[in-house]
């Protein structure tokens, strides 16, 4: 197998500790976006929905050339459509500083509490797999360790943070010839499809989110804990600050090492049954799901608040190399 094309973005284990996050004010870039996205959908660009309910595929516009207003439109579109698939981007080659600065437009950059990052770049999370890879991976993306029939693990990223990530860039560096897609599900539509009666029952509930088990698992693999463990109480039904739309913030709840653990104030059986029902709906409702496929030059942007996602480890013998850069958003309301 050929050497990796982007060696400077290979994962390195780094035990540096960081001060715990302090709460900072957040203004959603999407709240400055335009209804018609005129600063994003520039002349000559093309865009089309991936499905009627979520996802938008965009070509003919370079993220790296967008104005601040263009990035605001991008944030609003991500909030509305959940996931944006940008084709033919030069973003992977514009350099670390430009990459980080672009995502910083949307908020403070997240640092992964445990996982390896490219040397000296804690704000990048690396997703790397090839047949020779010995890089440590979390169980959620390593089916052989979880003993699961499938590599699919639905989740939203880092919901146990006080200010969980919103706009998230997923930058393809090397992609397999086929496979290695990412699944997405709309948390907004998952809320919309519920009955008014059931919505009323969910209103006001809070979920306890906790990343302790991730840190413990990481420690067992010799990976660092860069921050103290985080436990947070976040609303089960959240409202997006830019769209004003409600969404279900319960993706992956109660499963495996997932960070949403249980419903505050419910007894165990009540919490388990409710979260299982919500996750059944999310996971088997193909009509509110979409799939992002990758080509060289693809950059996928998702709003981690309003979609859940899962990688698919269906490729073998090939290399898949991505970096993820996530901007932290509001304290959930």
Ligand X SMILES: O=C(O)CCC(=O)C(=O)O
- Which residues form the interface with Fe ion (CB under 5 A)? 157
Please work out the total of residues on this chain that contact ligand X, with binding judged by CB under 6 A: 6
157 in contact with ligand X (CB under 6 A): yes
> Does the protein bind ligand X through residue 158 (CB under 6 A)?
no
Q: Is 185 in the site for ligand X (CB under 6 A)?
A: no
Indicate the SS3 state at residue 44.
Answer: coil
Asked whether the CA dihedral 150, 151, 152, 155 is positive or negative, the reply is positive
Among residue numbers 296 through 315, which ones bind ligand X (CB under 6 A)? 309, 311
Q: How far apart are CA 13 and CA 125, in angstroms?
A: 11
Among 127, 214, 250, 299, binds ligand X (CB under 6 A): 127
Distance from C-alpha of 6 to C-alpha of 17, rounded to nearest angstrom:
26
Q: Which is nearer to ligand X, 127 or 290 (CB)?
A: 127
Closest residue by beta carbon to Fe ion: 157
Site string for ligand X, 69-108 (x = CB under 6 A): ----------------------------------------
**Contact call for residues 59 and 50 (beta carbons, < 8 A):** no
| CB closer to ligand X out of 73 and 157 | 157
CB of 176 to ligand X, least distance (A): 11
Q: How far is the CB of 181 from ligand X (least distance, A)?
A: 7
HEC states along 79-144? HHHCEEEECCCCHHHCCHHHHHHHHHCCCCECCCCCCCECCCCCCCEEEEECCCCCCCCCHHHCHH
- Among residues 157 and 303, whose Cβ is nearest to Fe ion? 157
What count of other Cβ atoms lies within 10 Å of the Cβ of residue 49?
12
- Answer with the entry of Fe ion, ligand X, none that 182 interacts with (C-beta below 5 to 8 A by kind): ligand X
Q: How far apart are CA 319 and CA 5, in angstroms?
A: 10
**Cα-to-chain-centroid distance, residue 146:** 21
- CA–CA separation, 43 and 85 (whole Å): 18
Among ligand X, Fe ion, none, the one that 127 touches (CB under a kind-dependent 5 to 8 A) is: ligand X
In the bound complex, what is the minimum distance in angstroms from residue 170's beta carbon to Fe ion?
A: 9
Question: Least distance from C-beta 311 to ligand X, angstroms?
Answer: 3
Shortest distance, position 322 Cβ to ligand X, whole Å: 6
For residue 72, the surrounding DSSP H or E stretch is helix 68-81
Does residue 159 touch ligand X according to CB under 6 A? no
Report angle CA 207, 170, 110 to the nearest 5 degrees. 50
CB of 259 to Fe ion, least distance (A): 11
Ranked by CB distance to ligand X, the top (closest) residue is 311
Q: Which residues are paired to 216 by β-bridges?
A: none
In the complex, minimum distance from the CB of residue 329 to ligand X, in angstroms, rounded to a whole number: 15
Residue with smaller CB distance to ligand X, 128 or 247:
128
Residue among 114, 182, 257, 279 that touches ligand X (CB under 6 A): 182
State the Cα–Cα distance between residues 47 and 63, nearest whole angstrom: 14
Residue 319, Ramachandran bin (φ over 0: left; ψ between -120 and 50: alpha; else beta): beta
Residue 86's closest CA among 66, 118, 60, 120?
Answer: 60
Classified as helix, coil or strand, 174 is strand
Binding partner of 324, given Fe ion, ligand X, none, CB within 5-8 angstroms per partner class = ligand X
Is 116 one of the binding residues for ligand X (CB under 6 A)? no
Query: Cβ 102 to Fe ion, closest distance in Å?
Result: 20
Does the protein bind ligand X through residue 324 (CB under 6 A)? Answer: yes
What residues line the site for ligand X (CB under 6 A)?
Answer: 127, 157, 182, 309, 311, 324
């Amino acid at each position: 197998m050929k050497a990796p094309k982007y060696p400077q973005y290979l994962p390195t284990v780094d035990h540096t500790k960081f001060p715990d996050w302090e709460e900072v004010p957040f203004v959603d870039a999407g709240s400055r976006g335009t209804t018609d996205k005129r600063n994003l959908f520039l002349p000559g660009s093309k865009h089309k929905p991936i499905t009627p309910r979520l996802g938008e595929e965009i070509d003919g516009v370079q993220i790296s050339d967008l104005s601040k207003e263009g990035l605001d439109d991008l944030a609003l579109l991500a909030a509305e459509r959940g996931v944006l698939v940008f084709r033919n981007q030069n973003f992977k080659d514009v350099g670390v500083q430009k990459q980080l600065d672009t995502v910083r437009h949307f908020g403070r950059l997240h640092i992964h509490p445990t996982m390896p990052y490219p040397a000296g770049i804690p704000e990048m999370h690396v997703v790397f797999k090839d047949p020779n890879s010995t890089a440590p991976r979390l169980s959620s993306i390593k089916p052989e360790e979880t003993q699961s029939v499938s590599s699919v693990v639905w989740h939203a990223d880092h919901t146990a943070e006080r200010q969980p990530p919103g706009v998230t860039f997923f930058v393809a560096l090397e992609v397999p010839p086929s496979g290695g897609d990412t699944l997405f599900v709309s948390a907004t539509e998952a809320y919309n499809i519920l009955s008014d009666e059931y919505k009323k029952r969910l209103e006001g509930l809070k979920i306890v989110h906790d990343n302790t088990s991730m840190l413990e698992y990481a420690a067992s693999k010799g990976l660092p804990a860069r921050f103290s463990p985080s436990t947070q109480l976040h609303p089960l039904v959240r409202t997006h600050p830019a769209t004003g739309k409600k969404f279900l913030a319960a993706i992956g709840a109660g499963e495996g090492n997932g960070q949403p653990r249980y419903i505050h104030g419910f007894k165990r059986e009540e919490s388990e049954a409710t979260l299982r029902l919500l996750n059944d709906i999310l996971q088997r409702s193909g009509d509110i799901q979409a799939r992002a496929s990758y080509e060289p030059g693809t950059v996928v942007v998702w709003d981690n608040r309003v979609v859940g996602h899962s990688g698919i480890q269906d490729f073998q013998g090939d290399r898949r190399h991505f970096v993820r850069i996530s901007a932290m958003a509001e304290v959930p309301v």
